[in-house]
Amino acid sequence: MIRISLIIAIIAALGVGVVNYVFVKDRIDKLVVDRNTNRDGYHATQAALAKTNAVLVKTENTLKQTEQNLAETQAERDKAVAAEVAQKKRANDLSDKLVKTTQERDDSQNELASYKTTGFSPEQVAKLGRTLKEKQDMIDAGNLEKSVLQRSIARLRAQLDIFIGTNADVTLRADLKGKILVVDPKWDFVVLNIGDDQGLKENSELLVSRDGKLVAKVIVRTLEKGRSIANLVPGWKLGEVIEGDEVSPAHPDPAS
């Protein structure tokens, strides 16, 4: 009987051990799964944090560059405004000088006419003639300088409009015409036979045509006295641009 009881106790103990093993194994497996899940989540969080930090650094660099570009643009705008004010003042002073010189010329003409009718000496008449010619030369020089100043003011106004963003289209005289002297198909730029002296402006757009048909559009980037350099506008190249093609304003001034 004791033997049987011992055997039963041993069997019961083995059963309890098996049950405990199975229970403990399930707990261990669950703990391992939880550990792996937490570890993977940690790694994913670390990767996301690193990516976010990289994006933040890039954004900060972009912000710094944007602030620098804005400061440079504002400085250029202020420079253009100051130059325009100076040119306008010079033009106004020149206009006043022209009015005064014109009045002096008219007075000289009237005085010369009076001398001729009153019989004064030829020396006196010659002196008045020289004075009249000097005044006329001053007026002609003043008109030429005024024309140059007006073109300079128009160019500065166009640059200022671009900085401020109030006028995207630079207008030109409706009768302005020119031709293409040189074509560079590799870099998509052309050389024109018109420039600042003819009233062309920086960043103005011109239509390129041949035999009355539209070929392309160009935008002026470099301006000189008697010529200019323009780039082909993407999306407006309807055919091959060649030397001798004609150009005309894409945005003619309605007031011209």
Q: Could you report the per-residue pLDDT of 2-45, keeping only the tens digit for each? A: 767 667 767 766 665 555 555 566 677 677 777 777 777 777 77
Q: Which of 108, 145, 102 is nearest to 126 (CA)?
A: 108
By CB atoms closer than 10 A (0-12, 13-18, 19+), residue 191 is: middle
β-strands 178-184, 189-192 pairing: antiparallel
Work out the pLDDT band at 213, boundaries 50, 70, 90: very high
CB-based contact 173:201 (threshold 8 Å):
no
pLDDT of residue 33: 72
pLDDT of residue 155: 62
Q: Which residues are CB-neighbours of 210 under 8 A, at least 6 positions away?
A: 239, 242, 244, 245, 246
Total Cβ atoms within 10 A of residue 184: 13
Using one digit for the tens of pLDDT, what is the confidence trace for 54-99? 777 777 887 788 778 777 877 877 787 787 788 888 878 887 888 8
Identity of the residue numbered 60: E
Alpha helices in the chain (DSSP H): 2-118, 122-164
Locate tokens 């008697």: which residue? 226
Reported as type and span, the H/E element at residue 180 is strand 178-184
- State phi, psi for 16 to the nearest 5 degrees: -65, -40
Angle at CA of residue 147, ends 94 and 142, nearest 5°: 40
Residue 99: half-sphere exposure toward Cβ, Cα within 13 Å: 6
Using one digit for the tens of pLDDT, what is the confidence trace for 144-196? 776 666 566 656 665 565 555 544 578 899 999 999 999 998 888 999 999 98
By CB atoms closer than 10 A (0-12, 13-18, 19+), residue 115 is: middle
Decide: pTM greater than 0.85: no
Distance, CA of 94 to chain centre: 32
C-alpha 51/C-alpha 57 separation (Å) is: 10
CA R_g for the chain: 43
